[in-house]
């Protein structure tokens, strides 16, 4: 079964975000900026198994695209991309034949989980790459919450694992200590950002070739850290 997915979204930044994350999750992604283009791509690639449809579009809207797809195709999974203010869209979308909807802004994990669910329902096995981030020499297994370096298991605490996951999902991006604290410890955590540094120091001892001269977890002075591989 094909792993081909269609993404219809006219805003290129949102489309890019979706494409990157679905590609990383092991899907082959076809992109469309308009409803017309989406229908064209579906004709050209009848093996598309899941379609993500934005609603507000120039030309025909996402509901109309959904209606036209469903007129000839009952197998494909359809997810509507709705804005927070469009509460009605959920109902209308489901009535026009959509299987599910996600509300913007959504996280990569949420998006992938929804696509995986429809993909499985459509009869496919989940792609092998799902649940893994490979950035040589590292392999992060999201399902088992484990890390390998050069094929060797690195023993991590749950917090260290969460930091690694955040880094590997944001390669090359400077992450502030506060951002890391919020993501890993949660917004309710009122501890000091120092805890971030303590954990990073320990993480470096575990994953760097030379912890005194780290090359993967780089310090961004006065700000935070940056993951480079
Ligand atoms: Ca739009």
Ligand 1 centroid, distance to 69 Cα (angstroms): 19
- How confident is the model at residue 189, as a pLDDT? 63
For residue 37, report the distance from its CA to the centre of ligand 1, in Å.
14
The model's pLDDT over 157-184, given as tens digits with 9 standing for 90+, comes to: 777 888 999 999 999 999 999 999 888 8
Cβ-contact 196, 177 below 8 angstroms:
yes
CA distance linking residue 185 with residue 163, whole number of Å: 10
pLDDT, position 88: 53
Q: Give the residue among 201, 208, 194 at the shortest CA–CA distance from 147.
A: 208
Q: State the distance from the centre of ligand 1 to the C-alpha of 122, rounded, in angstroms.
A: 26
* pLDDT of amino acid 129: 43
Three-state DSSP class for 114? helix
Is pLDDT above 70 for 31? yes
Tell me how far the alpha carbon of residue 196 lies from the centroid of ligand 1, in angstroms.
38
Give the model's pLDDT for residue 125: 46
Mind listing the pLDDT tens digit for each residue in 71-108?
A: 888 778 888 898 766 655 555 656 677 777 788 888 88
| 166 CA → ligand 1 middle, Å | 28
């Amino acid at each position: 079964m094909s792993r081909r997915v269609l993404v219809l979204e006219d805003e290129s930044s949102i489309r890019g975000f979706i494409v990157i994350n679905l590609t990383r999750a092991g899907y082959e992604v076809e992109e469309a900026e308009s409803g017309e283009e989406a229908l064209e791509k579906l004709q050209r690639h009848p093996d598309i198994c899941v379609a993500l449809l934005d609603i507000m579009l120039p030309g025909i809207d996402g509901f109309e695209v959904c209606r036209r797809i469903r007129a000839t195709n009952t197998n494909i999974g359809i997810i509507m991309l709705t804005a927070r203010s469009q509460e009605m869209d959920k109902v209308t979308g489901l009535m026009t034949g959509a299987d599910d909807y996600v509300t913007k802004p959504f996280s990569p994990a949420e998006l992938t989980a929804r696509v995986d669910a429809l993909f499985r329902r459509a009869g496919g096995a989940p792609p092998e790459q799902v649940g893994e981030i490979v950035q040589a020499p590292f392999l992060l297994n999201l399902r088992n919450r484990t890390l390998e370096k050069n094929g060797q298991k690195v023993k991590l605490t749950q917090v260290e694992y969460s930091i690694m996951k955040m880094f590997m999902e944001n390669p090359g991006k400077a992450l502030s200590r506060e951002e890391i604290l919020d993501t890993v410890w949660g917004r309710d955590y009122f501890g000091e950002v120092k805890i971030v540094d303590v954990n990073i120091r320990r993480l470096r001892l575990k994953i760097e070739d030379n912890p005194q001269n780290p090359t993967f977890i780089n310090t961004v002075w006065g700000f935070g850290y940056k993951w480079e591989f």
